[in-house]
């Protein structure tokens, strides 16, 4: 137990008013009243009121009565209270209002009243957590004897956080299906914070580029309705399908992910989020609601659960494996058992461990938050973990979370077949570069690492998480757990920053070359003579050049596709030409402070135009609705505040006049000036140090509607070192995707 167990029933009670349901992310004024129990609280004793570590509820502040989150604390008997807000409680309840009783004491029946969001001085109230939770708890623990030994009350007060009205619409269907095969379409309304909402009251009209059997012209969504499922749907003829959603006036509400209908069956596209966790460890909401969300609200094809091992009790491990088995339905919804090995960074850092079967042993990095476990099964280092897994039917993924995977410290190529380059923690291409430097042959995945009860569809809200959670498209012949493991072991997948774009990357050869069934560096591997290779393949081409064929269909207009030979950017392809550039200037900032915790870069900036003005401005990839652009009334400048954690954000300006003049940019990270007349497609960069911190300025067409880009790229392997060839796709809305490399080897 994390707290003392001495006579909790004598330590008092706590209530909150008003109770009931509150809109997630809204402002409220809540009064929490602690009533002292039999022992009271002695002079210099303490009361702690805590909420979950990962909650993005506004941080209470004690000094400005007119500002958001103003909070007051008072004792009924006049005892002097010393109060501060800090992260001073046991995970997962770190966020804490810490109250010390000084110059007095409390007897039984005396109270301490905490007004979160006290509006008496003009404050709008406390900004509540932005993700939904049926029981958002204020955990109350008491040090009644002034010993710094805290006892948890038998019952802590809670409120319910529910979704707000619709702010965006999503339409989700497969990325690739064979002609004539039935599939489904899900229409989801979300509130401004990304919570699926049942508060929609709308007629949604559907406009489709091709005939789809079973697809109605409109659907009704009424209050109380969840997502609308339309099935079975079929398309008879091959083609690329575009579906848009409109309101009754014809205004576009949203756009479905691209759908390619093929004439032949083969490798299909299945979308998964294998990396997230629930309230039993560091996240929010129960593990039961976790699986329900993944299957019935995010509409994933597959899901894993990756709780921190040092918080997984034996009882929860058993429960998690039972739920994995219960929800697993091959060909419909696949679960992948596993856990997060959460070793300290210096001992190897975070790894995601996945098993083919349930009920495999969990080998923890530590037992710091679990007691009463029999045996000695810890693996304190990543090397120990890999040794323990050597005979398991398992795969491992290196990832970056609070701790980052140090693949230089330990790596097992038989097990560790992929690196996670994006999650809600940010974007981490440097982890892939580490693998290239070390000669590792890994694939690229992106998952959410969701902590908010929204696997497969998480947004950062207003917290320190800086990005939308990722997704991975696994290329498989069927939706089974066995096929998932084959895809991971062969690196046959691509990752995205949460969008479901279509991506095809193949290598074509004029004559047969050697393609390996497995990594030949691991031992003898079957060889086949082929003229084509796909994502993740390991190829010995000899002197035969490779033509890389790339096809991308975005869920939004495409900005560019970058081709990489290892870490080197060798080509950038765009869906428009220099002649199509218009008056639109894009400014993007990106990067992180460093690899570990505290990687967030808080950008405070100002942009000023000289010799011209802008007619319009729009934010790009601003993920926190509370942050945005502040435009100057005269159209000559703007200011902003934004966070990046390896990913990007920015804005577009549509210039007035002839588009000449200069643009000055001042930020707390880097500043500079650019000549607008000389600004074209190429990036003008301002280097901000840190881990890829920089600002990029370039020009775009005034209105780019191109969502598809096909091209070929010639590659000649000259050895002797491996040549990993892959692409990175960037959409105009800030979403990105990475193909797993094709490895050309000697």
User: CATH assignment of 269-500?
Assistant: 3.20.20.140
Q: Is residue 375 predicted with pLDDT exceeding 90?
A: no
- Report the number of secondary-structure helices (H) and strands (E) in the chain: 5, 55
Q: What angle do CA 210, 215, 219 make, to 5 degrees?
A: 125
Per domain, the residue ranges of the chain are 8-162, 168-265, 269-500, 501-575+709-746, 578-700
Radius of gyration of the chain (CA): 27
Residue 115 pLDDT class (50, 70, 90 cuts): very high
Maximal CA-CA distance, the chain = 89
For residues 252 and 59, give the distance between their C-alpha atoms in angstroms, rounded to a whole number.
37
Protein fold of 501-575+709-746: Immunoglobulin-like (2.60.40)
**Which element (helix H / strand E) includes 620?**
strand 614-620
Query: Among 44, 16, 332, which Cα is nearest to 158's?
Result: 16
Q: Is residue 290 predicted with pLDDT exceeding 80?
A: yes
pTM over 0.85: yes
Residue 597 pLDDT class (50, 70, 90 cuts): confident
Beta strands, E only, 625-671: 629-631, 637-644, 648-655, 662-667
- Look at 26-40, 291-305, 386-400, 454-468 and tell me which has the smallest mean pLDDT: 454-468
Check residue 657 and give its pLDDT: 86
Q: Is residue 730 predicted with pLDDT exceeding 80?
A: yes
* For the chain, percent of residues with pLDDT exceeding 90: 95
Q: Is residue 464 predicted with pLDDT exceeding 90?
A: no
Beta strands, E only, 521-610: 527-534, 538-540, 546-553, 558-565, 568-573, 584-592, 601-610
Check residue 2 and give its pLDDT: 83
User: CATH assignment of 578-700?
Assistant: 2.60.40
Tell me the three state secondary structure of residue 252: strand
CB-based contact 97:71 (threshold 8 Å): yes
Residue 311 pLDDT class (50, 70, 90 cuts): very high
Question: Backbone dihedral region of 472: left (phi > 0), alpha (psi from -120 to 50 degrees) or beta?
Answer: beta
- For the domain made up of 8-162, the CATH class stated in words is mainly beta
pLDDT tens digits, residue range 670-702?
999 999 999 999 999 999 999 999 999 999 999
- Asked if the 168-265 domain carries CATH number 2.60.40.10, the reply is yes
pLDDT tens digits, residue range 140-177?
999 999 999 999 999 999 999 999 999 999 999 999 99
* Two domains, one topology: 8-162 and 269-500: no
């Amino acid at each position: 137990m994390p707290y003392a167990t001495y006579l909790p029933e004598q330590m008092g009670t706590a209530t909150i008013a008003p109770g009931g349901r509150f809109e997630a992310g809204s402002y409220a004024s809540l009064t929490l009243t602690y009533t002292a129990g039999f022992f009271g609280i002695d002079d210099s004793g303490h009361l702690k009121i805590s909420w979950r570590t990962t909650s993005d509820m506004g941080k209470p502040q004690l000094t400005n009565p007119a500002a958001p989150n103003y909070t007051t604390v008072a004792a009924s008997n006049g005892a002097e209270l010393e109060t501060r807000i800090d992260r001073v409680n046991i995970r997962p309840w770190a966020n804490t209002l810490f109250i010390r009783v000084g110059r007095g004491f409390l007897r039984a029946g005396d109270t301490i009243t905490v007004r979160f969001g006290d509006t008496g001085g003009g404050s709008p109230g406390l900004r509540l957590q932005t993700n939904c939770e049926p029981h958002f708890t204020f955990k109350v623990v008491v040090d009644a004897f002034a010993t710094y030994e805290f006892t948890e009350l038998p019952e802590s007060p809670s409120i319910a956080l529910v979704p707000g009205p619709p702010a965006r619409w999503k339409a989700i269907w497969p990325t690739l299906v064979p002609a004539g095969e039935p599939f489904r379409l899900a229409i989801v309304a979300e509130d401004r914070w990304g919570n699926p909402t049942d508060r929609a009251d709308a007629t949604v009209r559907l406009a489709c580029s091709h005939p789809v059997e079973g697809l109605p012209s409109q659907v009704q969504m009424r209050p109380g309705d969840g997502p609308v499922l339309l099935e079975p749907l079929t398309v008879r003829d091959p083609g690329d399908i575009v579906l848009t959603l409109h309101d009754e006036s014809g205004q576009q509400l949203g756009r479905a992910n691209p759908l390619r209908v093929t004439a032949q069956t083969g490798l299909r596209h299945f979308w998964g989020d294998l990396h997230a966790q629930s309230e039993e460890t560091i996240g929010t909401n129960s593990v039961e609601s976790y699986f329900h969300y993944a299957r019935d609200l995010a509409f994933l094809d597959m899901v894993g659960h990756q709780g921190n091992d040092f918080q997984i009790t034996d009882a929860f491990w058993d429960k998690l494996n039972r739920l994995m088995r219960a929800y697993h339905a091959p060909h419909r919804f696949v679960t992948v058992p596993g856990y997060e090995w959460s070793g300290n960074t210096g001992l190897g850092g975070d790894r995601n461990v996945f098993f083919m079967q349930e009920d495999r042993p969990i080998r923890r990095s530590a037992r710091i938050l679990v007691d009463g476990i029999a045996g000695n099964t810890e693996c304190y280092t990543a090397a120990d973990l890999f040794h323990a897994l050597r005979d398991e039917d398992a795969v491992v993924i290196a990832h970056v979370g609070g701790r980052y995977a140090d693949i230089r410290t330990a790596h097992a190529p038989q097990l560790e077949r992929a690196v996670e380059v994006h999650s809600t923690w940010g974007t981490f291409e440097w982890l892939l570069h580490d693998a290239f430097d070390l000669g590792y042959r890994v694939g690229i995945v992106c998952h959410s690492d969701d902590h908010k009860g929204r696997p497969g569809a998480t947004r950062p809200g207003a917290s320190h998480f800086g990005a939308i959670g990722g997704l991975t498209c696994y290329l498989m012949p069927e939706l089974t757990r066995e096929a998932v493991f084959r895809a991971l072991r062969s690196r046959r997948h691509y990752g995205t920053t949460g969008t479901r774009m279509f991506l095809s990357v193949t290598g074509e050869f004029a004559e047969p070359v050697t393609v390996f069934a497995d990594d030949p560096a691991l031992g003898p591997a079957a060889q086949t003579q082929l003229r084509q290779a796909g994502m993740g393949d390991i190829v010995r081409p000899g002197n035969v050049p490779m033509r890389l064929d790339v096809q991308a269909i975005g869920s939004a207009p495409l900005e560019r596709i970058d081709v990489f030979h290892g870490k080197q950017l060798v080509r950038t392809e765009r869906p428009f030409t220099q002649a199509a550039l218009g008056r639109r200037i894009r400014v993007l900032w990106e990067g992180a402070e460093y690899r570990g915790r505290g990687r967030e870069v808080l950008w405070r900036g100002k942009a000023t135009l000289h010799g011209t003005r802008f007619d319009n401005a729009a934010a790009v990839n601003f993920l926190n609705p509370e942050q945005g652009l502040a435009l100057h009334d005269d159209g000559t400048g703007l200011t902003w505040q934004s966070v990046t954690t390896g990913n990007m954000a920015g804005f577009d300006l549509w210039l007035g006049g002839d588009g000449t003049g200069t643009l000055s940019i001042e930020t707390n990270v880097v500043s500079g000036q650019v000549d607008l007349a000389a600004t074209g497609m190429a990036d003008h960069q301002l280097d901000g140090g840190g881990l890829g911190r920089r600002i990029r300025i370039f020009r775009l067409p005034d209105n780019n509607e191109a969502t598809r880009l096909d091209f070929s790229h010639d590659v000649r392997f000259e050895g002797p070192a491996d040549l990993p060839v892959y692409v990175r796709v960037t959409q105009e809305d800030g979403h990105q995707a990475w193909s797993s490399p094709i490895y050309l080897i000697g």
